[in-house]
A and B are shown apart, each in its own frame.
Chain A
Amino acid sequence: MSILEWGGYEASGTKAQTYGLKSGADYTKKYGASGITYSYIQDDDQALNKATQTQFDLMHPCNENVKDYIDRGLAQPWDTSLLPSFSQLNPDMVKIGQANGNQYFIPWDWGYGSLLYRTDMVDPADATGWELAWNPKYKGKISLWSGASTNFEIAALKLGFPHMDDLSDTELEQAKQALIEQKPLNKLYWSSEYDQEQPNFKSGTVWITYAWQDSFVSMTAAGRKCAFLQPSQGRLSWICGFMLGAHTQNYYHAHDYVESYINHASCVNMTNLFYYGTANTTVTPDLVKNKELVKALDLGNPSAVVSGSNHLQSWAPNRSQLELAWEEVKTS
Chain B
Amino acid sequence: MIPPLFVVLLLLLGPVVLLALYSVNLRTNIPFAPTSFSGADWKDFLTRAGNPFRGRFFFSLRFTLLVSVASTAAAYPLAYYLAFVARRFRYVLLLLLIAPFFTSYLLRVVAWSNMMLNENGIVNQALWFFHILPHGHAVGWLLYSNFSVFLVLFYSWIPFVSLPIFAVLENMDHRLIEASTDLGASRLSTFWRVTFPLSLPGVIAAFVFVLIPTTGEFITPLYVGGPSNQLFGNLIQSFFGDSPNWNYGAVLALALIAVVLVLMLLFGRYLNTDLREQPREAA
| Residue positions of A touching B, CB distance < 8 A | 42-43, 45-46, 48-49, 52-53, 71-74, 140, 146, 148, 183-184, 186-189, 191, 195, 199-200, 203-205, 320, 323-324, 326-328, 330-332
Please tell me if the beta carbons of A187 and B144 are within 8 angstroms of each other in the complex. yes
174-199 of chain B: CB within 8 A of chain A: none
13 contacts across the A-B interface (CB closer than 8 A):
A46-B244, A48-B244, A72-B30, A146-B242, A183-B228, A186-B227, A191-B222, A195-B114, A203-B121, A326-B243, A330-B235, A331-B53, A331-B230
Q: Kindly state the separation between the CA atoms of A183 and B225 in the bound complex, as whole angstroms.
A: 13
Q: Which residue of B lies closest to A147 (CB)?
A: B242
| Residue positions of B touching A, CB distance < 8 A | 29-32, 52-53, 55-56, 110, 114, 118-121, 138, 140, 143-144, 222, 225-228, 230, 235, 238-245, 248
B residues within 8 A CB of A195? 110, 114
Besides the contacts A73-B31, A195-B110, A323-B243, what 14 more A-B pairs have beta carbons closer than 8 Å? A46-B241, A46-B244, A52-B30, A71-B32, A72-B31, A146-B242, A188-B226, A191-B222, A199-B118, A204-B119, A323-B244, A324-B245, A330-B238, A331-B56
Query: Measured between C-beta atoms, what is the minimum distance from B231 to chain A in Å?
Result: 10
Please tell me if the beta carbons of A331 and B52 are within 8 angstroms of each other in the complex. yes
Q: Which residue of B lies closest to A322 (CB)?
A: B243
Q: Kindly state the separation between the CA atoms of A272 and B235 in the bound complex, as whole angstroms.
A: 39
Q: Kindly state the separation between the CA atoms of A45 and B68 in the bound complex, as whole angstroms.
A: 34
Please tell me if the beta carbons of A73 and B144 are within 8 angstroms of each other in the complex. no
B residues within 8 A CB of A324? 243, 245, 248
Query: Measured between C-beta atoms, what is the minimum distance from B30 to chain A in Å?
Result: 7
Q: Which residue of A lies closest to B136 (CB)?
A: A204
Please tell me if the beta carbons of A52 and B222 are within 8 angstroms of each other in the complex. no
Query: Measured between C-beta atoms, what is the minimum distance from B140 to chain A in Å?
Result: 6
Q: Kindly state the separation between the CA atoms of A187 and B227 in the bound complex, as whole angstroms.
A: 7
Q: Kindly state the separation between the CA atoms of A300 and B140 in the bound complex, as whole angstroms.
A: 42
B residues within 8 A CB of A191? 222, 242
Q: Which residue of A lies closest to B121 (CB)?
A: A203
Please tell me if the beta carbons of A327 and B239 are within 8 angstroms of each other in the complex. yes
Residue among B114, B227, B239 having the largest count of chain A Cβ atoms under 10 Å: B227
Please tell me if the beta carbons of B244 and A49 are within 8 angstroms of each other in the complex. yes
Residue among A45, A323, A330, A331 having the largest count of chain B Cβ atoms under 10 Å: A331
Please tell me if the beta carbons of A327 and B30 are within 8 angstroms of each other in the complex. no
B residues within 8 A CB of A199? 114, 118
B residues within 8 A CB of A186? 226-227
B residues within 8 A CB of A49? 29, 240-242, 244
B residues within 8 A CB of A330? 227, 230, 235, 238
